[in-house]
């Protein structure tokens, strides 16, 4: 079986100005003492990417830089959008694509997610593709169908072994920023299903090698239990990634 390097990715969402972001990444980096057993990624808002990137480079922290979204065109009259080239110029390595908040509040669909994935991969950015069902879909027993459709739609036309260049995150919407946490064994089951879908599209080897994270209320108190599950390769963390102490304790689970 493939060994997959665990990943802890912090999605800072719309928090932290540039100066606060630098303070946070320094506090995380100084606490990490060079441990590389886990791949660590932080995804600040666009306005803090430059200053966080410079800090990471200067202080040589083992932390990768990620963005929270990317547009699919290189340049043009697209007011308010950020292109993959612009992210590359800031030494961004990862980019979150299709987060449920983008799907819910900004009209993101599997089709636009797919365009963003193609553009990101085409420019050597590594997408973190987010999928997950809402409460109504879960309660009506449609979780696996919804997630499979998001994976198939998102990955359409992305051929070959993408396991080194793309990460998937399963984030049940009803567990994001709420008091509800998915049971680790349930999250594991959905992730197993996602791996099967990836296998049917891109082959069993890709499916075994690609990392699939869990996201939704991951905290220092539940991380080790989640990470015991064989299919869960790490976490995409919102709230707890805004505290250096909490995020470092997640990394050292």
Asked if 175 and 136 touch (Cβ cutoff 8 Å), the reply is no
- Near ligand 13P in 80-99, by CB under 6 A: 99
Residue with tokens 């220092």: 220
Nearest to 182 by CA among 212, 227, 218: 218
Taking the complex as a whole, the smallest distance from the CB of residue 216 to ligand 13P amounts, in Å, to 5
Q: Can you say whether the dihedral through the CA atoms of 211, 212, 218, 221 is positive or negative?
A: negative
Window contacting ligand 13P (CB under 6 A); options: 16-24, 81-89, 171-179, 190-198: 171-179
User: Based on CB atoms, which residue is closest to ligand 13P, 58 or 105?
Assistant: 105
| Strand pairing category for 7-11 and 64-67 | unpaired
Rg (CA), the chain: 17
Asked if 11 is part of the footprint of ligand 13P (rule: CB under 6 A), the reply reads: yes
Asked if 124 is part of the footprint of ligand 13P (rule: CB under 6 A), the reply reads: no
According to CB under 6 A, which one of 70, 117, 218, 248 is a site residue for ligand 13P? 218
Asked if 132 is part of the footprint of ligand 13P (rule: CB under 6 A), the reply reads: no
According to CB under 6 A, which one of 137, 171, 233, 246 is a site residue for ligand 13P? 171
Nearest to 98 by CA among 163, 153, 159: 153
Asked if 217 is part of the footprint of ligand 13P (rule: CB under 6 A), the reply reads: yes
List all residues 6 or more positions away from 183 whose beta carbon is below 8 Å from its beta carbon.
none
Active-site residue set:
99, 171
Residues that contact ligand 13P, how many (by CB under 6 A): 14
Asked if 177 is part of the footprint of ligand 13P (rule: CB under 6 A), the reply reads: yes
According to CB under 6 A, which one of 113, 190, 237, 244 is a site residue for ligand 13P? 237
List all residues 6 or more positions away from 208 whose beta carbon is below 8 Å from its beta carbon.
1, 2, 195, 199
Taking the complex as a whole, the smallest distance from the CB of residue 34 to ligand 13P amounts, in Å, to 26
**DSSP readout, 191-217?**
HHHHHHHHHHHH-HHHHHHS-EEEESS
Which stretches of the chain bind ligand 13P, using CB under 6 A? 11, 99, 171, 176-177, 215-218, 236-240
């Amino acid at each position: 079986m493939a060994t997959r390097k665990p990943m802890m990715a912090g999605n800072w969402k719309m928090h932290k100005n540039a100066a606060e972001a630098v303070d946070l990444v320094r506090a995380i980096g100084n606490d990490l003492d060079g441990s590389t057993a886990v791949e660590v990624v932080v995804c600040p808002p666009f306005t803090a990417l430059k200053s966080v990137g410079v800090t990471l480079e200067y202080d040589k922290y083992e932390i990768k830089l990620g963005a929270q979204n990317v547009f699919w065109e290189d340049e043009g009259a697209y007011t308010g959008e950020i292109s993959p080239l612009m992210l590359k110029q800031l030494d961004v390595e990862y980019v979150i694509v299709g987060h449920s908040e983008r799907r819910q509040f900004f009209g993101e669909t599997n089709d636009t997610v797919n365009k963003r994935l193609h553009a990101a991969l085409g420019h050597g950015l590594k997408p973190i593709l987010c999928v997950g069902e809402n409460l109504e879909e879960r309660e009506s027993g449609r979780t696996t169908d919804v997630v499979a459709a998001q994976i198939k739609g998102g990955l359409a036309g992305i051929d070959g072994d993408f396991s080194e260049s793309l990460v998937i995150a399963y984030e049940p919407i009803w567990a994001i920023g709420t008091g509800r946490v998915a049971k680790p064994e349930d999250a594991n089951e959905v992730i197993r299903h996602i791996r099967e879908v990836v296998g049917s599209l891109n082959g069993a080897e890709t499916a075994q090698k690609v990392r699939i994270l869990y996201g939704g209320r991951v905290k220092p108190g539940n991380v080790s239990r989640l990470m015991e599950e064989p299919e869960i390769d790490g976490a995409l963390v919102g709230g707890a990634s805004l505290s250096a102490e909490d995020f470092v304790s997640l990394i050292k689970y």
